[in-house]
């Protein structure tokens, strides 16, 4: 799938300036709530109209303000899964699915609905109304309605946000099977880093209505270039630096000197260290420092610590470790924390 977006839309209190070129069949848009992710998706689908700009999908112009082109939503051949699924409350399951097949012969509609009922495991629910369905069943009906008319592009707007964690994991597996069989392109919007990482190959990061960075999903998580990209992909530890030489920096916020694998170019202004890339060490080594614990907490599967360089007044760092007996650390225990040189991310604030 090739998609070219260069649009502006003024919402008075917020201005969308979305500009990117995507060239993968599985594209994700990641950002905080209110950054313009869903608005970008809705503009591509034709649900909202930009003030100006151009939208091109697979060589077809959907919108061009200069040429006065604005293809109606129903002619864009896009399947849009809304956050709340947007099922018709007064229609049964089978009628909801059939609603997307207008203009076809009755026997063709009946056959297509039957195929979707079987494909999405909705047998026995045909006569039920949306209010009589679980959240997972509602999502399957919404997907069946979309896939019934075989869209060229599937758009998923926060597809799992309304589901509890157990149901979410099951539906993720179902969605993966669906996408494995689906030959069209897919764009997913989410504020969940895990979902974006699982489902997409190319990633657009957005902040305050604008693109921050575009690249391969796994590359942007592993080695982000921009400081904001590191934040959006979950990096909790970011410090301004002083460059010492091509492979050494001084992290000013933490008061520690770090060796790096990558060369420190002149445009690098910060370093980032993911909280799970910090390790405990019994002895001093490269990129290590004596530490003290300021705060600690735990979740079912990991320990979380707020630490700082021992005896200093520098800023704290976040440290996360898997939960097992060997990883239990108390405030009274000493030792060093250590960061591998390859885990020091070099970032630019520009």
What's the pLDDT tens digit per position in 155-211?
999 988 867 777 788 888 888 988 998 999 999 999 999 999 999 999 999 999 999
- What pLDDT is recorded for position 325? 58
- What pLDDT is recorded for position 113? 96
Q: What is the mean pLDDT of residues 20-36?
A: 94
pLDDT winner (highest mean) among 97-111, 189-203, 314-328 = 189-203
Specify the length of the chain in residues.
350
**Region class of 88: left (phi > 0), else alpha (psi between -120 and 50), else beta:** beta
% residues pLDDT > 90 (the chain): 79
Which tokens is 205 given? Answer: 């990061």
Please list, in sequence order, all residues whose beta carbon lies within 8 angstroms of the beta carbon of residue 59, skipping any fewer than 6 positions away: 2
Across the chain, mean pLDDT equals: 93
Whether 132 has a pLDDT exceeding 80, the answer reads yes
Do residues 43 and 73 make contact, with C-beta atoms less than 8 angstroms apart?
no
Provide the pairing of β-strand 78-81 with 69-70: unpaired
Whether 135 has a pLDDT exceeding 70, the answer reads yes
Q: At what angle do helices 135-148 and 165-181 cross, to 10 degrees?
A: 20
Domain boundaries, the chain: 3-222, 229-347
Whether 332 has a pLDDT exceeding 80, the answer reads no
pLDDT tens sequence across 281-303: 989 999 999 999 999 998 999 99
Please list, in sequence order, all residues whose beta carbon lies within 8 angstroms of the beta carbon of residue 102, skipping any fewer than 6 positions away: none
Which tokens is 116 given? Answer: 């979707």
pLDDT tens sequence across 52-66: 999 999 999 999 999
Q: What is the mean pLDDT of residues 325-344?
A: 80
Which tokens is 96 given? Answer: 């909801």
Domain 3-222 in CATH 3.40.50.300: yes
Spatial CA neighbour of 51 closest among 88, 7, 5, 103: 7
């Amino acid at each position: 799938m090739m998609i070219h977006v260069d649009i502006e839309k003024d919402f008075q209190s917020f201005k969308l300036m979305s500009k990117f070129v995507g060239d993968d069949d599985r594209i994700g848009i990641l950002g905080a709530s209110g950054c313009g992710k869903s608005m970008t998706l809705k503009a591509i689908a034709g649900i909202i109209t930009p003030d100006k700009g151009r939208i091109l999908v697979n060589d077809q112009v959907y919108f061009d303000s200069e040429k006065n082109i604005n293809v109606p939503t129903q002619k864009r051949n896009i399947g849009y899964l809304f956050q709340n699924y947007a099922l018709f409350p007064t229609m049964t399951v089978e009628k909801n699915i059939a609603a997307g097949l207008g203009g076809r012969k009755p026997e063709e509609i009946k056959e297509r609905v039957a195929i979707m009922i079987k494909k999405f495991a909705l047998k026995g629910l045909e006569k039920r109304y949306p209010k009589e369905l679980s959240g997972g069943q509602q999502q399957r009906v919404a997907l069946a309605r979309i896939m019934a008319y075989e869209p060229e592009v599937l758009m998923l707007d926060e597809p799992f946000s309304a589901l509890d964690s157990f149901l979410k994991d099951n539906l993720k597996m179902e969605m993966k099977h669906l996408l494995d069989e689906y030959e069209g392109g897919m764009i997913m919007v989410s504020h969940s880093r895990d979902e974006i990482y699982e489902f997409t190959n190319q990633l657009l990061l957005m902040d305050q209505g604008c693109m921050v960075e575009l690249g391969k999903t796994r590359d942007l998580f592993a080695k982000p270039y921009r400081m904001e990209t590191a934040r959006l992909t979950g990096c909790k530890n970011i410090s301004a630096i002083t460059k010492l030489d091509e492979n050494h920096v001084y992290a000013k916020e933490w008061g520690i000197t770090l060796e790096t694998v990558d060369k420190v170019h002149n445009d690098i202004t910060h370093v980032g260290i993911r909280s799970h890339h910090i390790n405990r060490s019994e002895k001093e080594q490269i990129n290590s420092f004596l530490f003290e614990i300021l705060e600690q907490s735990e979740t079912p599967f990991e320990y979380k610590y707020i630490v700082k360089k021992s005896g200093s007044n520098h800023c704290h760092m976040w440290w996360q470790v898997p939960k097992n007996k060997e990883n239990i650390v108390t405030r009274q225990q000493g030792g060093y924390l250590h960061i591998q040189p390859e885990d020091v991310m070099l970032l630019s604030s520009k």
